[in-house]
């Protein structure tokens, strides 16, 4: 029963009825991989059933050693090799049900031999140092073969006594990885179905194969409530891949969260991101739906006004809006709690019903008008519009208000569509103007060059004729031509010198302005520092508690600055990648969606 339950947790295609009577299969192994762009996921099977030892050589990369008790078949190793062969891959997440590195071999044997409940560890990877060490070597070689790559281990629980921890895995010896900064991080969650212990501290160091490791609690990325809650816990892994001046770089941040805090701190709107093309195509703040010149051009567009007139005046579509209010149970918000048909208090239910209503209305729009609307079933488009149209719950509390709300949503969808049209048109016109301007310059330069060539050709023919008919006049004319040529060359040199002098003056002026700004900033910072010190001196006498708090903040800031100053260039790239990732997150403005209706 336990095996069937565990199987049902991860295998949606598994049919218990069809499997009944067949017994538990003894030779199944489940490992998989997934790739999308520059991010990959490698799911390992760490309890692969028995197989012939000759099939466990890591694809011929390791010699046959029967006493090693191999755990990874060549078939699974081939999947691992294929994952590492993905050319565009930048970030690889390696997932497993148990920690890849947890205890050293000595400690593992002690537990297995002395404590009955640890007998299972004989089938754990930490009991297979040769193959596990080979996997770690291959992953570390892959990570540092191209600067900017990232590898993250995300693993299940180690034992019931552990809530979750982070492991830093470093190369201990060898010629290829002497740099102590080269590291792979591993994050382990607490147990999903077993008992969660209150013992949050789990620290251990040790050696495994030719690696050393250090386990410790996830201080920065871990949230523990003051009380014990019987909930599942999750490892939330945020992965970002970005491109900087040095190429592609992968960043990651891992946190361990209880389910309730996961929903509270990381709702869908928390991860509302603007795609990269948005800032390039559309100006202005997304919350205001870009009320600028482009916005006004879209509002005045004839086709935009045509589709907006359809939204306002078409009787069937207006009737469908009112019908959606009842069809998707949004009317429940006006009913007493006992008379509601669904739990409209639940933010996810309410948000889902709003999405469903808008998507159903999309199907009621004629095809000719759909072409003039942004694609509302796309959640990015829907969220962008909702951030403006749902600033409070009033639009949903009556049918008339809901109809007005739907009209506003579809109006904004039309405006967005025609904003992109006008942006493309303006960009096209600017490119054409730039092209024709360059063409005019090139044409003028070509005409000047052709005229100069014709002049030189005519002068050369004239000199040849004089040389044959009148030598004295030929020499006189040759002197005149050479004199004119020298004057032109001197004028060109003079113009170049004047240009260089002007550029030098501009550079000196810019440097002087920069130095002046730097001096002004230094004076400002010095004055601010003096004021801060005066305030600290006052607090030390009048409010020692606040003084200690301020000093602690300053200490943490100094420590963070020291860490930044001491980080190597690759660490800085990882950090900057994560910083850019954070800046692309737009917190939700629709806070009322989180509140229950009464």
Determine which of 168-172, 220-224, 534-538 has the lowest per-residue pLDDT on average: 220-224
pTM metric for this prediction = 0.52
3-state secondary structure of 116: helix
Quickly tell me which residue has 């040759």 as its tokens.
478
Cα(19)–Cα(23) distance, integer angstroms: 7
- pLDDT recorded at residue 321: 92
Tokens representing 214?
């250090």
In angstroms, the Cα distances linking 213 to 34, 44, 121, 186, 196 are 28, 21, 19, 10, 24
Concatenating the DSSP letter of every residue in 551-591 gives HHHHHHHHHHHHHHHH--HHHHHHHHHHHHHHHTB---S-G
Instruction: Report the alpha-carbon distance of residue 7 to residue 2 in Å, rounded.
Output: 9
Which string of DSSP letters, residue by residue, matches 377-433? TSHHHHHHHHHHH-SSSGGGSSHHHHHHHHHHHHHHHHHHHHHHHHHHHHHHHHHHH
How deeply is 118 buried, as exposed, middle or buried, from its count of CB atoms within 10 A (0-12, 13-18, 19+)?
middle
Q: Which of 42, 35, 148, 135 is nearest to 86 (CA)?
A: 35
Spatial contact of 27 and 47, defined as CB atoms under 8 Å apart: no
The pLDDT value given to residue 142: 92
How many of the other CB atoms lie within 10 Å of CB of 317?
A: 20
DSSP category for residue 346: S
Flag whether pLDDT at 143 surpasses 60.
yes
DSSP type of residue 88: T
Interhelix angle for 347-363 vs 399-469, to 10°? Answer: 70
Strand ranges of the sheet holding 165-171, from the earlier edge strand across to the other edge: 32-36, 39-43, 91-96, 150-155, 183-188, 165-171, 211-216, 204-208
Query: What's the pLDDT tens digit per position in 177-232?
Result: 455 568 898 888 776 666 665 554 455 777 877 788 888 765 444 444 444 566 66
For residue 41, give the nearest of 132, 142, 153 by alpha carbon: 153
Phi, psi of 345 (to 5 degrees): -65, -30
- The pLDDT, as a whole number, for residue 119 is 72
Tens digit of pLDDT for each residue in 459-508?
888 888 888 888 888 888 888 888 888 888 888 899 889 989 999 999 99
Residues 6+ apart with CB under 8 A from 483: none
Q: Are 170 and 180 in contact (CB under 8 A)?
A: yes
Q: What percent of the chain has pLDDT over 90?
A: 10
Has residue 42 got a pLDDT over 60? Answer: yes
CA distance 514 to 27: 71
**Residue 286 pLDDT:** 44
Rounded CA separation 501/506 (Å): 9
Q: Is 417 in contact with 282 (CB distance < 8 Å)?
A: no
Q: Is pLDDT above 80 for 11?
A: no
CA 495 to chain centre: 51
- Report the distance separating Cα 535 and Cα 526, nearest Å: 14
- For 73-95, the pLDDT digits (tens) are 777 888 888 889 888 899 999 99
235 DSSP β-pair partners: 256
Structure confidence at residue 28 as a pLDDT band (50, 70, 90) = low
Q: What is the CA radius of gyration of the chain?
A: 35
DSSP letter, residue 229 = -
> Which of the 8 DSSP states describes residue 250?
E
- Beta-strand pair 150-155/91-96: parallel
Going from the C-alpha of 112 to that of each of 117, 119, 120, 122, the distances in angstroms are: 8, 5, 8, 7
pLDDT in the model for residue 343: 81
Question: What pLDDT score does 586 carry?
Answer: 43
Beta-bridge mates of residue 411: none
Q: Indicate the DSSP class of residue 264.
A: H
Could you give the percent of the chain with pLDDT greater than 70? 73
Cα dihedral 487, 489, 493, 498 sign: positive
Residues in the chain: 598
User: Residue 366 in contact with residue 373, Cβ under 8 Å?
Assistant: no
Note the pLDDT tens digit of each residue in 315-368: 999 999 999 999 988 888 888 888 888 887 777 788 888 889 999 999 999 988
Q: What is the dihedral of CA 535, 541, 545, 546, to 10 degrees?
A: -10
As a whole number, mean pLDDT of residues 577-582 equals: 73
Higher pLDDT, 565 or 27: 565
**DSSP state letters, 144-186:** HHSTT-EEEEEE--S-TT---EEEEEEE-SSSS---TT-EEEE
Nearest to 298 by CA among 391, 408, 422: 422
Query: What is the model's pLDDT at position 489?
Result: 86
The answer to whether 596 and 345 have CB atoms below 8 angstroms apart is yes
> Please, which pLDDT band fits residue 588 given cuts at 50, 70 and 90?
very low
């Amino acid at each position: 029963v336990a095996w069937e339950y565990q199987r049902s947790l991860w295998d949606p295609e598994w049919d218990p009825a069809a499997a009944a009577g067949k017994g538990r299969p003894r030779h199944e192994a489940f490992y998989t991989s997934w790739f999308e762009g520059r991010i990959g996921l490698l799911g390992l099977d760490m309890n692969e059933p028995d197989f012939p030892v000759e099939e466990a050589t890591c694809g011929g990369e390791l010699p046959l050693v029967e006493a090693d008790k191999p755990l990874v078949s060549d078939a699974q190793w081939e999947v691992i090799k294929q994952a590492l062969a993905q050319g565009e891959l930048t970030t690889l997440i390696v997932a497993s049900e148990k920690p890849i590195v947890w205890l050293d071999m000595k400690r593992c044997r002690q537990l297995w031999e002395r404590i009955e409940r640890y007998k299972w560890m004989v089938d754990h990877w930490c009991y297979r140092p040769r193959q596990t060490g080979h996997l770690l070597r291959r992953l570390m070689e892959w990570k540092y073969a191209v600067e900017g790559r990232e590898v993250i281990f995300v693993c299940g629980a180690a034992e019931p006594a552990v809530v979750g921890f982070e492991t830093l895995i470093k190369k201990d010896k060898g010629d290829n990885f002497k740099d102590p900064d080269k590291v792979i991080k591993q994050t382990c969650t607490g147990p999903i179905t077993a008992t969660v212990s209150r013992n949050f501290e789990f620290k251990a160091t040790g050696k495994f194969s030719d690696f050393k490791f250090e386990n410790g609690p996830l201080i920065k990325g871990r949230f523990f409530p003051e009380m014990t809650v019987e909930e599942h816990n999750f490892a939330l892994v945020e992965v970002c891949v970005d491109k900087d001046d040095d190429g592609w770089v992968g960043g990651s941040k891992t946190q361990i969260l209880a389910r309730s805090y996961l929903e509270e701190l990381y709702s869908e709107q928390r991860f509302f991101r603007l795609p990269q093309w948005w800032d390039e195509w559309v100006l202005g703040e997304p919350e205001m739906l870009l009320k600028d010149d482009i916005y006004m051009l879209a509002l005045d567009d004839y086709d935009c006004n045509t589709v907006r007139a359809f939204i306002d005046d078409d009787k069937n579509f207006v009737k469908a809006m009112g019908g959606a209010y009842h069809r998707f149970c949004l009317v429940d918000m006006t009913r007493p709690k006992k008379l509601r048909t669904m739990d409209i208090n639940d933010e996810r239910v309410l948000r889902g019903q709003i999405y469903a209503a808008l998507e159903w209305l999309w199907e009621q729009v004629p095809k000719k008008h759909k072409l003039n609307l942004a694609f509302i079933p796309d959640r990015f488009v829907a969220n962008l519009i909702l951030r403006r149209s749902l600033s409070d719950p009033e639009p949903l509390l009556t049918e008339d208000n809901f109809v007005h709300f739907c009209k506003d949503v579809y109006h904004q969808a039309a405006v967005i569509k025609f904003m992109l049209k006008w942006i493309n048109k303006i960009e096209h016109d600017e490119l054409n103007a730039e092209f024709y301007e360059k063409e005019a310059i090139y044409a003028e330069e070509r005409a000047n060059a052709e005229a100069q060539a014709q002049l030189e050709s005519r002068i050369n023919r004239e000199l040849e004729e004089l040389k044959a008919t009148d030598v004295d006049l030929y020499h006189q004319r040759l002197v005149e031509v050479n004199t004119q040529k020298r004057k032109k060359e001197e004028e060109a040199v003079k113009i170049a010198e004047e240009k260089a002098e002007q550029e030098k003056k501009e550079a000196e002026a810019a440097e002087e302005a920069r130095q002046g700004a730097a001096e002004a900033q230094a004076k400002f910072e010095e004055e601010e520092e003096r004021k801060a010190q005066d305030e600290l001196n006052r607090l030390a006498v009048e409010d020692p508690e606040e003084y200690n708090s301020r000093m602690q903040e300053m200490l943490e800031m100094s420590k963070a600055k020291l860490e930044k100053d001491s980080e190597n260039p690759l660490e800085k790239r990882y950090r900057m990648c994560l910083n850019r990732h954070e800046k692309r997150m737009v917190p939700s403005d629709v806070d009322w969606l989180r509140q229950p209706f009464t």
